Amino acid sequence: MLKVLKFGGTSVGTLDRIKNVAQIIKKIKDEGHDVIAVVSAMSGETNKLIEYAESFSKTPLESEMDMLLSSGERVTSALLSIALNEIGYKATSMSGREAGIVTDNSHTKARIEHIDTTNMKNAINEGKIIIVAGFQGVTEQSRVTTLGRGGSDLTAVAIAGAIHADVCEIYTDVDGIYTTDPRIEPKAKKLDKISYDEMLELASLGAKVLQNRSVEMAKKLNVNLVSRSSFTPEIEGTLITKEENIMEKPLVSGIALDKNQVRVGMYGVTDKPGIAANIFTALADANINVDMIVQTVGVDGKTDLDFTIPKTDWEICKKMMTKFEEQSENIDYNEKICKVSIVGVGMKSHTGVASKAFAALANENINIRIISTSEIKISMIIEEKYAELAVRALHEAYDLDK
């Protein structure tokens, strides 16, 4: 079998942890499999580099950020390769460029356009273990790009898809996908399987255990994706697969929490056609991901507009919004909010799912500010101080601990 393995920040967080990863790879190689391992930077490294840059500038050039941040994963790929060679295994590290990963030009959030697998195939044919520096690629013009936070997951899935690997195993510090973040609710249960669509919702709604774009790509390319732990590699993880491969479909599969949100309130906005279009076109052009949007009923030719954006886009958003100051009486920002969401394919065919969520929060005296729903999810914006309480209340309301 050809296996693509990915080891996240904590899994390579110290030199001892890197040695441990070398042992996991050694075992899989000894079982007769070919291995391509994708690695993250050592935990904390990417944040440290961002802080360094921000000590010089609040808005550093994105192309320079990519040059800086991509270095973190190159360090771990070389170290892991050195460790494997030392124990007698032929290994070779590859940067994104050497692995043939070509992206578009959107620095810091680049999309993979194609992967030229020639180098990787040649190395595999020579019996080598490949260690790819995750999270990065190059543009057609050979400039280094990065794939967004958590992007090493995407590197692994994209390579698995391009090279037709039999499986893509994402090794992290928990042994699979749980009904909610086990660090918030210790009663959370591990799932054996979860559908691509549910995982995509959970990941997009804040469950950072898998990067959302990696799940989207896994679904598109039909990659057998497994989430498991490098701390307990003997334990089977969670399989992320097609909905039809899952016999038992729970009403609700999981709860996600996202604290990386800011609510933007525009009050007394002129209520006439085209205003919302102008605002949201401007935000889209600035590559800002607007999430929930609420517009209240207009009174006396004025209306209020509320929407949420990721905290990471806050600075750019503020700059943008100065253009619209004249079209509204007041614009304010609230970052002390969070989004809790419940996700489950069973919602498609059952009623009463939403009312249960609202009742569970009401029981805890938690006020819901904004609600949005789709076929398989319900999201609610609440005050940040209630975040963990809300997750636990919802987890219990849907009997996820049973």
What binding mask, one character per residue, do residues 127-156 give for ligand ADP by CB under 6 A, x or -?
-----------------------x------
State the minimum distance, in angstroms, from the CB of residue 8 to ligand ADP: 2
229 binds ligand ASP (CB under 6 A): no
Helices (H) and strands (E) in the chain, counts: 11, 20
150 binds Mg ion (CB under 5 A): yes
Query: Which pair of tokens denotes residue 39?
Result: 């690695």
183 binds ligand ADP (CB under 6 A): yes
Cα separation, 362 vs 393, whole angstroms: 10
Residue 295 · residue 266 · CB < 8 Å: no
Nearer residue to ligand ADP within complex by CB, 360 or 391: 391
344 binds ligand ADP (CB under 6 A): no
State the minimum distance, in angstroms, from the CB of residue 151 to ligand ASP: 5
Binding-residue total with ligand ADP (CB under 6 A): 19
Residue 134 · residue 40 · CB < 8 Å: yes
Nearer residue to ligand ASP within complex by CB, 100 or 134: 134
213 binds, among ligand ADP, Mg ion, ligand ASP, none (CB under 5 to 8 A by kind): none
22 binds, among Mg ion, ligand ADP, ligand ASP, none (CB under 5 to 8 A by kind): none
370-374 β-sheet, strand order: 254-258, 337-343, 377-383, 370-374
206 binds ligand ASP (CB under 6 A): no
Phi-psi sector, 36: left (phi>0), alpha (psi -120 to 50), beta: beta
State the minimum distance, in angstroms, from the CB of residue 173 to ligand ADP: 5
How far from the centroid of its chain's Cα atoms is residue 43's Cα?
Answer: 16
Which of 173, 243, 388, 396 contacts ligand ADP by CB under 6 A?
A: 173
Binding-residue total with ligand ASP (CB under 6 A): 13
Alpha helices for 165-308 (secondary structure H)? 196-204, 212-221, 275-285
Report helix, strand or coil for 5: strand
Q: Name which of 345, 392, 336, 323 is nearest 364 in CA terms.
A: 392
Which of 96, 100, 134, 344 contacts ligand ASP by CB under 6 A?
A: 134
Report helix, strand or coil for 19: helix
Cα separation, 396 vs 252, whole angstroms: 11
Cα separation, 172 vs 9, whole angstroms: 8
State the minimum distance, in angstroms, from the CB of residue 196 to ligand ASP: 19
β-bridge pairing 302-310 and 293-295: antiparallel
What binding mask, one character per residue, do residues 141-160 give for ligand ASP by CB under 6 A, x or -?
--------xxxxx-------
Residues forming contacts to ligand ASP in the complex (CB under 6 A) are 8-9, 40-41, 46, 72, 134-135, 149-153
Residues forming contacts to ligand ADP in the complex (CB under 6 A) are 8-11, 40, 150, 172-174, 177-178, 180-183, 207-209, 254
